Amino acid sequence: MPILTRGSDIDGGAMKNPMNAAQLKRSYNIQRFLEGWSLFYENLVGRIGLILLMIFGLMALLSFIPPLIDPMYHPMTGVDPDISRSTPPSLHHWLGTDNIGRDLFSQLLTGARIAFLVGVSAAFMSIVFGTLIGMVAGYAGRVTDSLLMRFADIIMVMPSLLVVLLMASFFGQLNIWIIVLLIALFRWPGVSRVIRSQTLSLKQRPFIDMARVAGASHLRILFRHILPNVLPMALLYMTFRVTSAIIVEAALAFLGFGDPNTVSWGMMLQWVWKTGHMFQAPYWLLPPGICISLITLSFYMMGRAMEEVLDPRLRKEGQRL
């Protein structure tokens, strides 16, 4: 692999060579990605996680189909006119129905969509907060650093589920986006600590000094030089945050504080619990719980495998990136 040098651009080498600097960099990135991918794929845990995740992705995509076939399959409003109580699985209702005759299978599919929506968006937001705060704290140092980190400590000791519950009691029914935002607001401290420590060590590297000497502003150093280097770690933490976001949302819904306009797996569990069907209807109790547990497991497994790709110390001997 040819090494990228600045000289080749200036003397016009790039003009003769069909591969210019940007292309070179891209092909280098692609190669790195492929190597990382093969490491990831060699990992049993990562492979299981990915396959599980693809199944859930498929479920989320398929969730749009049942309501199109027949309006009675609509997860929230569709009611089978012939059924007035919870029924076991049948040909018309693959997983049976709930106590008012709604189709459980289509509810389960919709739950996958909500889980992805909540998990990924809350995780993304908490990563954005965490990375920004961590970078600023690590880069600025001194008072800013200690203030931000003390603040992170305070948020870290708060039981997030119970805080969101308390908010629900003060502000009334929360909709799904407010829940997502609240989860994100309570889940950034862990990320920001890791990003901060990475920034602290990056700050000592010569290339940051060079950028400063070349006249780069603080913002430019932060976003052009430090951010690309901490991004892999932030992405890794995002997979773990997806897990915790899905769990918090499901727990809220289970306790009856979810968004009443959405059908999530936690909501399904709340219905089976509150209507007293938990001993009578295993076909209703088992699937949502298995789904929540497996989707969090799949993100967690992906995260563990990614961790091994990113951290050379965790690799087996002979493997390299």
Partner 1 sequence: MHFRQLILRRSLEILVIFFVILTGLFLLFHLAPGDPVSRMVDPSMTPEDADILISQLGLDQPVWLQYLYYVKNFFSGNFGTSFHYGRPVVSVIWERLPNTIVLFTTSVILSAMAGVFWGKIVAWYKGRPIDTWVTILSLVCHTLFLPWIALLFIWIFGYGVGWFPLNGMITPELWMNPKTGFFIKAVDILHHMLLPLFTLFIIHVGAYLLIMRSSMLETLSEDYILTARAKGLNEKQVRNRHAAPNAALPVVTSVGLSLAFSINGGALTETVFSWPGIGRELIFAVSNNDYPLALASFLFISIVVLVANLVVDILYAYLDPRIRY
Question: Pick from 95, 89, 135, 160: which is nearest to 233 by CA?
Answer: 135
Place of tokens 């289970």: 254
Instruction: Please select the residue that binds partner 1; options are 156, 185, 216, 227, rule is CB under 8 A.
Output: 156
Could you say which of 41, 171, 177, 207 contacts partner 1 (CB under 8 A)?
Answer: 171
Positions in 86-145 near partner 1 (CB under 8 A): none
Residue 162 binds partner 1 (CB under 8 A)? yes
Angle at 116 between CA 181 and CA 133, to 5 degrees: 40
Q: Minimal distance in Å, beta carbon 286 to partner 1?
A: 8
Query: Which of 104, 222, 233, 247 forms a contact with partner 1 (CB under 8 A)?
Result: 247
Alpha helix ranges (H) inside the chain: 7-10, 13-16, 21-42, 44-62, 65-69, 104-140, 142-156, 160-171, 176-186, 189-203, 206-213, 218-220, 227-254, 265-274, 282-310
Please tell me whether residue 15 binds partner 1 under the rule CB under 8 A. Answer: no
Of the candidate spans 40-48, 58-66, 111-119, 203-211, the one that interacts with partner 1 by CB under 8 A turns out to be: 40-48
Which CB, 56 or 73, lies closer to partner 1? 56
Q: How far is the CB of 157 from partner 1 (least distance, A)?
A: 6
Q: How far is the CB of 68 from partner 1 (least distance, A)?
A: 30
Q: Which two tokens stand for residue 147?
A: 């203030």
User: What DSSP string describes 215-268?
Assistant: T--HHHIIIIIIHHHHHHHHHHHHHHHHHHHHHHHHHHHHTT-S-TTS--HHHH
Nearest residue to 273 via CA among 295, 289, 290, 249: 289
Should residue 153 be labelled a site residue for partner 1 when binding is judged by CB under 8 A? yes
Residue 202 or 305 having the CB closest to partner 1: 305
Q: Does 237 bind partner 1 (CB under 8 A)?
A: no
Cβ 190 to partner 1 shortest distance, Å: 8
CB under 8 A: which stretch of 79-87, 115-123, 211-219, 278-286 binds partner 1? 278-286
Residues ≥6 apart with Cβ < 8 Å to 158: 186
Tell me which residue has tokens 């509810």. 107
Among 10, 15, 22, 157, binds partner 1 (CB under 8 A): 157
Q: Does 293 contact partner 1 by CB under 8 A? A: yes
The tokens for 70 are 């027949």
Residue 79 as a binder of partner 1 (CB under 8 A): the answer is no
Residues in the chain: 321
Instruction: Report whether 294 contacts 248 (CB < 8 A).
Output: no
Q: Which of 104, 123, 233, 269 binds partner 1 (CB under 8 A)?
A: 269
Applying CB under 8 A, the site for partner 1 has a residue count of 46
Residue 301 as a binder of partner 1 (CB under 8 A): the answer is yes
Burial 221-237 (b: 16+ CB within 10 A, else e): bbeebbbeebeebbebb
Q: Choose which of 118, 148, 161, 191 interacts with partner 1 (CB under 8 A).
A: 161
Residue 216 or 297: the one with the smaller Cβ distance to partner 1 is: 297
Instruction: Check if the beta carbon of residue 216 is closer than 8 Å to that of residue 208.
Output: no
- Positions touching partner 1 (CB under 8 A) are 44-45, 48, 153-154, 156-163, 165-172, 243, 247, 250-251, 254-257, 269, 273, 278-279, 282, 285-286, 288-289, 292-293, 296-297, 300-301, 304, 314
